[in-house]
Amino acid sequence: MNLRFLILSALLLLGSQIHADGRRYVWTYEYQTLPRGQAELESYTRFDQMGTDSGRIAETTLLYEYEIGMNSRFDVGIYQQFKQSLESAISYEGFKLRLRYRFGEKGQWLLDPLLYLEYKGRGSFEKNTLEAKLILARDFNRFNLSLNPVVEYEFSDDHPELEFEYAAGISYRLHSLLSLGIEAKGDDEEFFWGPTLSHGKENMWFAIGFLSPASSSSLVDRKIQFIIGLGL
**Which one-letter DSSP state was computed for residue 29?**
-
pLDDT of 185 higher than 90: yes
pTM of the model: 0.85
**Which one-letter DSSP state was computed for residue 84?**
E
What integer pLDDT is reported at residue 18 of this predicted model? Answer: 33
Superfamily of domain 2-231: monomeric porin ompg (2.40.160.40)
Cβ atoms of 152 and 160 closer than 8 Å: no
Q: What's phi and psi for 18, nearest 5 deg?
A: -70, 140
* In the chain, where the domains are located: 2-231
Residue in 66, 74, 49, 53 with CA at minimum distance from that of residue 225: 49
What integer pLDDT is reported at residue 12 of this predicted model? Answer: 41
Which tens digits make up the pLDDT trace of 153-172?
998 767 788 999 999 999 99
Cβ atoms of 199 and 206 closer than 8 Å: yes
What integer pLDDT is reported at residue 86 of this predicted model? Answer: 73
